[in-house]
Amino acid sequence: MKKPASAGGHKPYEEADAHASSPEEILRQSEQRLRQIIDLVPHFIFAKDVNGHFILVNRALAEAYGTTVERLTGATDADFAHSDDEVRHFREDDLAVIHSGRPKIIPEEVITDSSGQTRILSTTKIPFVRFGSDLPAVLGVSVDITERKQVEQALANERNLFMDMVNSQPAGAYRLRIHSQRAWNEEEWVEKTETHYKLELVSDLFCRILGKTREQCEASATVVVDAIHPEDRADFVQCNVVALETLKLFEWEGRLLRNGEVVWVHFSSMPRVMSDGDVIWTGILLDITALKRAEDAHRRVRVLESLGIAAGGIAHDFNNLLTGVFGNIELARMQLPDHHPAQASLRSAHQALDRARSLTTRLLTFAKGGSPVLEDINIRQEICDTVRFHLSGSHVAAEFSVLSDLWPVKADKGQLAEVISNLTINAREAMPSGGTLWVEASNAPHVEIADAPELHGDHVRLVFRDEGVGIPRDIIAQVFDPYFSTKKSGSGLGLAIVHGIVRKHRGHIGVASSPGKGTTFTVYLPVNREARIRTDAVEPPITKAEIQAPHVRRVLVMDDEPVIRTLVAHMLERLGYEVETVADGVTAINAYESARQAGRRFDLTIMDLTIPGGMGGRETMANLRAIDSTARVIVTSGYSSDPVLANFAAYGFSGKLAKPFNIRELGEALKAAIMGTDNNAQPDRHPRTPG
């Protein structure tokens, strides 16, 4: 179709040029236009022949090499490049394209410009044949991506800094993307977890808590669901469904299974709805196993304290009953001739009562009333002697590793012996066919135990390790419970007593065991910092003056139990004493004052420590001292481990007598109190003449 004429009658531009110029001029103009175009392009444009000579370059590449288009044309990379490695790589890529006849994309390559600055290029090279020649060549375009790479590196650095901050936190951090806002039911939620959930970010601690690698976590969010304990999984799923429906703070606490180990965790995350409809949940994962164990230990302590109070009350009342039975049996034996047939039965009954008394003593040690009377003790010899004694005659051998400069502990000597005894007996019974008990004692400065956050400072560590049958994992948490035992015989109080004693000493006991591989008990006892700096010199034995048999004296007995008052009166009369009995402190003070004014004073008074609904021994003692500062008083109680009995002299008493007691113990207590020779009392330097 004929083209219309231009305005003014002139011919179109193309026709005018065609008629006005020769083919050479047209080619020159075309090349000039091409040159203008490629020089305006900011990217590097070039063509090279099979020998590596530039047959086409644009101004951007020439300026990068610090030269002109004219000088670079016909030259090679080797004439201007700053690095032989760059030249070699360029040449290898060019030849690969020329010989293969296929394009090649080089995502990143490095060129050093004329100023020495390194630039990063993304290059595409394609094969072509130069116009007017049948020789192969390569045509390339390089885009300078240096700034983009710098931005990417800056972002990577920021991400690394962010991840460093995340990984330094005491909680595992995560970011979860959910590709749906539609509410799902529980069945759909489980099915869609793999396809709709993506853990975009996880910290190192998050992976460690789950027991998974970073690759596993980032590959599929199902690792979280799979790690939830089977018994807690339904609750976890339900909480997720609710969180998706409401888009409120997600909180969940439960158990994981990590390599077969039960771990308590707490999830907490906050949702954010993105512009594309996805929901991002950013949150933390806490390992709260230690906290749960501490809470459980605290709860068990409260239960043990409650049981201890009950056990103490029962043992106190039982000791009162035993005192009556003990005394009457002894009085009966004393009233019968030695050859009487009933003597054998009475002796058997007496032996049974001795075993009952041992049981109540253990109950009181476990009970709250058995507070320890603390003193500085060097326990090196005590450990070895007690362990050897309880293993004597058994098939169990003892191996000791006891530090020679073991620090003195602040402890009740009797209760500490109970700890060593029970742990030794427990180990012996765990090895009925024999074995070895390893006993270690060492100094433990600056103790810190996760399960006992209240424990700190310097301690002595005792370790009892046997090679017995071990304790199953499902019951190991119960070993310190009262009356819990896996043995056919035994009271189940041994380890409960050990736990109670250690707790009252402000110490800690832990247990570790594997079935068939033995059990290890570890005890921490606090030390006396002042005693540590003293040398452990052996004190010379205390010499006691020979105790002469006392003359008949008048004795006042105060006890709220009529049976015990009558019994003790008979026992004292049997020993040759004149006795008067009262039921409470007020009556005791009146009787004491009346006797003193009548010139028939009491040489000694026996007071029960606890008088329900009346004035007990401590208060009565204070009032009695106001009347007579030289009054001698023996304190007695069914709480055999009461601190008043253990440290009676500090309360003004001259002696102690723990219920139940027999006539021999009663007589010895009176002699010791009158002569001032009790181990725990200060001797009376000025004994008075009885009046």
Quote the distance between the C-alpha of residue 413 and its chain's center. Answer: 30
The Cα-based distances of 619 to 68, 74, 126, 601, 629 in angstroms read 114, 119, 110, 20, 15
In contact, 362 and 497? CB cutoff 8 Å: yes
Task: Specify the range with the lowest mean pLDDT, choosing from 11-15, 150-154, 275-279.
Answer: 11-15
- Here the tokens at position 150 are 């710098």
Measured distance CA(225)–CA(193) in Å, rounded: 9
If one compares 62 and 186, the residue with the highest pLDDT of the two is 62
Name the nearest CA neighbour of 532 among 462, 463, 461, 460: 460
Name the nearest CA neighbour of 647 among 668, 678, 687: 678
Task: Report pLDDT for 91.
Answer: 93
Torsion-angle region of residue 188: left (phi > 0), alpha (psi -120 to 50) or beta?
A: alpha
Query: Which tens digits make up the pLDDT trace of 517-549?
Result: 889 999 999 887 666 544 333 333 322 233 234
* Dihedral Cα 126, 127, 129, 135, nearest 10 deg: 140
The stretch 32-53 carries a mean pLDDT of 90
Query: Which tens digits make up the pLDDT trace of 649-685?
Result: 888 898 888 888 888 888 888 888 877 654 443 333 3
Calculate Rg over the CA atoms of the chain.
48
The Cα-based distances of 262 to 111, 172, 551 in angstroms read 57, 17, 71
| DSSP codes of every residue in 604-667 | EEEEES--TTS--HHHHHHHHHHH-TT--EEEEES-TT-HHHHTGGGGT-SEEEESS--HHHHH
- Here the tokens at position 626 are 């106001």
Task: Specify the range with the lowest mean pLDDT, choosing from 80-94, 102-116, 171-185, 333-347.
Answer: 171-185
Contacts of 268 (CB under 8 A, 6+ apart): 249, 250, 251, 283, 284, 286
Task: Report pLDDT for 8.
Answer: 45
Under the banding of pLDDT at 50, 70 and 90, the label for residue 493 is low
pTM: 0.41
Measured distance CA(653)–CA(642) in Å, rounded: 14
In this structure, the strands spanning 118-129 and 104-112 are antiparallel
Res 1 pLDDT > 60? no
If one compares 254 and 299, the residue with the highest pLDDT of the two is 254
Mean pLDDT (the chain) is 80
Contacts of 416 (CB under 8 A, 6+ apart): 377, 379, 382, 409, 501, 505, 525
Under the banding of pLDDT at 50, 70 and 90, the label for residue 194 is low
Measured distance CA(474)–CA(492) in Å, rounded: 18
In contact, 425 and 464? CB cutoff 8 Å: no
Sign of CA dihedral 204, 210, 211, 217: negative
Res 373 pLDDT > 70? no
In contact, 174 and 283? CB cutoff 8 Å: yes
Contacts of 591 (CB under 8 A, 6+ apart): 556, 580, 582
Strand partners, 459: 444, 526
Torsion-angle region of residue 277: left (phi > 0), alpha (psi -120 to 50) or beta?
A: left
In the three-class reduction of DSSP (H, G, I as helix; E, B as strand; rest coil), residue 409 is classed as strand
Res 483 pLDDT > 90? no
